[in-house]
Chains A and B, each alone.
Chain A
Amino acid sequence: MVMSQEVDIRGARVFSGLTPDDFDALAQAGRRESYRPGETVFSGNLRAQSFFVIADGGVEVYRREIDGSQTVLARLGRGAAFGEAALLDGRPRKALGIAKGTTTCWVLDAGGLARLRAEQPVAATHLLANLARGMAYRLNRASTQATRVVDGRRTDSFSHGSSGVRRSLLDRLFGR
């Protein structure tokens, strides 16, 4: 896919398996956006329902703490994709994304996805399937950790909280 303004992200993992026709459809549905160094890429309701693929540059993702400080959650580079959950469930983001250096992204927002679904359902299906596969992978890992907590098996990354807290939280996870 050669997006407008020479954004080329065909090699991004999130697009694996897509056909040339799919890329043409995606090029129409999404748009190119550039950010200056230090510019906010997404925050709270800013581009809340947008999915990003980094074509050039990088994005640092922060979590805002209660005391006003920021904790780095991730540093993402070219080819990284993020925001698929926000694109699909439409809830405001809790994290904050800042461009590191001049950054260019391919952006698909909820309106673009709706158009893609309506006008190019095949491309939309292929993209959604790839997004779902990635989310399922993450959810599976997290679920495994969660069940270990319930069975009293400590894990390195999911080992705190009282049993009552765990139970109520897990109820939320599994759809109570």
Chain B
Amino acid sequence: MKNFLPYLKTLAFFEGLRDAEILGLAERFPRRRLADGEVLYEVGDPAGSAFVVVRGQIEVLSEGGQRISVAAAGDVVGLHELFRDEPRNLTTRAIGETGLFEIDRAVFAEACEARQPLDVVLVDRVAHFLAVKLRQMDGILEEVDPHVHAPVAVHAPKVDALEFKSHDRSADKVAPRPVKKRRWWQRKRTADDELQDRITELADKAGLTEIDSVKVRYGSEQPLHNNPSSMIRRG
């Protein structure tokens, strides 16, 4: 697993963690591999695990079969279902060959009891990702329907008592999002990076070495530390 550390460090799920913590978590997660088009879970399945997308992509489908989104490497699917007992209300399916870490529901429940040193790390990452997604949802609800405001409190004793007032819709203007420029090696992994991974994969199949595969990508040798994902070998 140590060979994968540079790559794992590029994934958002492991952002900010120490090397030992990343390795500890990665070794603890069962690994799943899906072929292109293979269903991870579907609507009606019993509530179960969440999954960290390590490689490839997972498309998220609604109950009606509409594609809602695509989760790229570093993202997590099924996160909020770690806590609920109802059957799944989404279907997820692999796009291309996909590798996943599984956050098992029962294992996570045990982690919440904090019996092992790494438990706090796992629970912290899950809480952190929930916070990020919740903040995104707050913004989305406001943009989709300015008359609706996401509740700001989780543990208000009387949630029903929260007031949600409408306001003059004409006053709503979505401010342009600031564009944060990053150099290419500073970027978070995106769907575009998956294309580069595909090139590496083909290079592997063709029997090229790691350095060769970097050349294939960029035309000349690049320092490996600038692009840790290039060090990942397939298989």
Residues of A within 8 A of B (CB): 12-14, 53, 61, 63, 65-67, 69, 71-82, 84-89, 91, 94-95, 117, 121-122, 124-126, 128-129, 131-140, 142-144, 146-147, 149-152, 157-161, 165-166, 169-176
Residue of A nearest to B112 (CB): A129
Query: A85 to B168, alpha carbons, bound, how many Å?
Result: 28
Q: How many A-B pairs with Cβ below 8 Å?
A: 229
Closest chain-A Cβ to B159's Cβ sits at a distance in Å of 9
> In the complex the two chains form, is A76's CB within 8 Å of B89's CB?
no
Query: A170 to B90, alpha carbons, bound, how many Å?
Result: 13
From known contacts A74-B162, A174-B68, infer whether A121 and B136 are also in contact, taking CB-CB under 8 Å.
no
Closest chain-A Cβ to B82's Cβ sits at a distance in Å of 7
Residue of B nearest to A91 (CB): B135
Interface residues on B, range: 35 or more
List, in ascending order, chain A residues with CB within 8 A of B143's CB. Answer: 161, 165, 169
> In the complex the two chains form, is A151's CB within 8 Å of B114's CB?
no
9 A-B contacts (beta carbon < 8 Å): A14-B154, A74-B152, A85-B134, A88-B128, A94-B138, A122-B114, A135-B127, A136-B130, A171-B70
- Stretch of B57-65, B198-206, B213-221, B223-231 on the interface side: B57-65
Which among A80, A170, A175 is the interface contact of B153 at CB below 8 angstroms? A80
Assess whether B184 is interfacial by the CB under 8 Å rule.
Answer: no
From known contacts A66-B172, A82-B152, infer whether A139 and B157 are also in contact, taking CB-CB under 8 Å.
no
> In the complex the two chains form, is A125's CB within 8 Å of B119's CB?
yes
In chain B, residues 148-182, which have Cβ atoms closer than 8 Å to a Cβ of chain A?
148-157, 161-165, 167-168, 171-173
Assess whether B54 is interfacial by the CB under 8 Å rule.
Answer: no
Which among A65, A79, A159, A161 is the interface contact of B157 at CB below 8 angstroms? A79
List, in ascending order, chain A residues with CB within 8 A of B150's CB. Answer: 138, 142
Residue of B nearest to A156 (CB): B148
List, in ascending order, chain A residues with CB within 8 A of B163's CB. Answer: 72-75
From known contacts A74-B152, A117-B120, A174-B71, infer whether A160 and B144 are also in contact, taking CB-CB under 8 Å.
yes
List, in ascending order, chain B residues with CB within 8 A of A136's CB. Answer: 79-84, 130
Query: A147 to B140, alpha carbons, bound, how many Å?
Result: 13
> In the complex the two chains form, is B151's CB within 8 Å of A174's CB?
no
Residue of B nearest to A162 (CB): B144
> In the complex the two chains form, is B60's CB within 8 Å of A174's CB?
yes
Closest chain-B Cβ to A139's Cβ sits at a distance in Å of 4
Query: A78 to B158, alpha carbons, bound, how many Å?
Result: 11
- Scan B105-149; emit 1 where CB is below 8 A from any A CB, else 0: 000000111100101100110111011111111111101111111
> In the complex the two chains form, is B135's CB within 8 Å of A89's CB?
yes
